[in-house]
Each structure stands twice: as structure tokens, then as C-alpha cells.
Amino acid sequence: MNAHPLAGQPAPSDFLVDVSKLLAAYYDGKPDPSEPNHRVSFGTSGHRGSSFRLNFNEPHILATTQAICDYRVAEGIDGPVYMGVDTHALSGPAARTALEVLAANGVEACIAPEGHFTPTPAVSFAILEHNRSHASDADGIVVTPSHNPPEDGGFKYNPPNGGPADTEITSWIETRANKLLAAGLKGVKRLAYDAALRADTTHIHDFITPYVDGLDTVLDMRTISKAGLRMGADPMGGAGIEYWPRIADRYELRIDIVNDVIDPTFSFMTLDWDGKIRMDCSSPYAMTRLVDLRSQYDIAFGND
């Protein structure tokens, strides 16, 4: 498989997504439920797509969130939903749409403060911490397409075990969501966003502090600190960007955040093997900038 001529090189400006058009397409795009490529389709625990391709638009999120609410009722899950959001352009609008449906269904929703981001492990941790001490099970939604390109959106469901939903669960949610799409969203409950944000069921949650403090229960952070390793961390513009400084401060670690930029076009990335912008920490092309810094650190991380 031949690499793109610009693989590993900075992305030219004409390779960058037009964020304003992408967001407009999220609200204006009208997917056709009879077209297979326009339907909700769960992969690794979640649905991914792009508003440009008419497979990640507001109707998809309305239908999928309502399907999750219906699944919770069917399974007797009545604890809170912990919802995390990443830095992709479509994630913010999708999270707002989801909150409108959760609030209309009377579901307790725990979200980070406006403008803050939450990586998947922090959502999983919040679910498990809740379920250790409460009779009512919590679950979660993570609005992220993971390492996918900037024009993509993603919407994942984490059941009460905190991990990715298995195929039995995702099949249930996918089937229900597509029925709602085919019915013109009849059966979807929804509030206006301002009302959803003010709802008694919506709670601002601190995801960072418990997660950072909890690291000491699974890792020997004291030994790592005493080792004095020079570490570099590249969050790749992802949801972990606020977590690395907190980890460094909490455990007195020598961590440099080598890139603290949040940019929905991800213009700071080097192109992947196929000429696409993709935040893939397993790709030597996408990780070119961090690899170039290898002589400055004992160990380096490229985790979004």
C-alpha cells in the first residue's frame, strides 16, 4: 500500500475542513432512512459518520439518544448518564442535542462544565465509581469519533460495566434508532437546549479530580515521580488535553505538554499515510512531530 506523497508532512491549508460548513450540515442535512449509508450504524460501541455524508446529522443523534433512553427503560437502568465530549467540531452540537433528549426523558445527566472536554476513560471511571456505592446503575455516552478525521463525529454508549457496549446492546440501540429515523423522529422526546441545561436532572460534574486522584490506586505514582523521568505528552488536540497538567501537578511529574492547541481543523497534525488528517497514535506518519522530539525525553506519549 503506497503512502500519500505528503504523508508525515504538515497539512496544507486546502486539506483542512471548513468547520462552519460542517456545522451547518449537521443541522441542515436531511438523511434518507431508506438509504443504507444514511442510517445509524454502530461499529466499536458507537455510531460514526460525517454531516457531509449525511450519516452524522442532528436526526441521527436525536434518534440514537432516544433509543438509549428506551434501552435504559427496558433494562431497568435508572442511574445517571455520564456524558463526555471530545474536541471534534461535531461533538459539541451532538452533545447539546443529546442533552435535549436526555432531559426530556427525565434522565439524570452528568456533564462537564461548558467548554471542557472529557476522555473516554474518565467517563468509564465515573460510571464505575458511581456503581460501587449506589443501588441505581449509571451508564454513559461519549461523543467522540476517536482518531477519525476532523470532519467526522462519533456517538458511543457505555453500559453500567463502564466499558464499550457489546454487539447485543448496540444492535438493540441501532435497530431502535433506525426505526425512529424511519418514523420521522416520531417518539423522540426533546426540550430546548436552554431548558435542558436548566433542568433539575442536569448536573455539572467534575470528571478530572476523581480520575486523577484515582490513578494512584492502580499505578505506583510515587515511584514514577521519584524516577525523575523526563516525559513528553502530546494530547493531539484531544479530550485529554486538560488532564496531563493535572496529573503532572498532582504527582510531581516532569511532564512537558508538547502541544496544547485545541483546533477543530487539527491543522497542527501531520498527514497520515493516505493523506488524511487522523489523530492515530499508532501511525508513524501522524506521530511525526512527537517522534522528532524523541531525543528530548526519556519517554513520550501521544494519547488523545
- Name the one residue in this structure whose C-alpha cell is 458511543: 156
Task: Pick the catalytic residue from 45, 50, 124, 146.
Answer: 146
Identity of the residue numbered 139: D
Residue 255, helix vs strand vs coil: strand
Distance CA 190, CA 138 (A): 21
Place of cell 461499529: 43
295 is catalytic: no
Place of cell 488524511: 276
Please give the grid coordinates belonging to residue 281.
497514535
Q: What are phi and psi of 176, to 5 degrees?
A: -65, -45
Sign of CA dihedral 240, 245, 251, 255: positive
**Residue 125 bridge partners (DSSP):** none
Question: Is 242 in contact with 257 (CB distance < 8 Å)?
Answer: no
All 3 cell numbers of residue 35?
A: 438509504
Q: How far is CA 26 from CA 58, 212, 263, in A?
A: 6, 34, 19
Cell numbers at 201, concatenated: 436532572
Q: What is the set of active-site residues?
A: 146
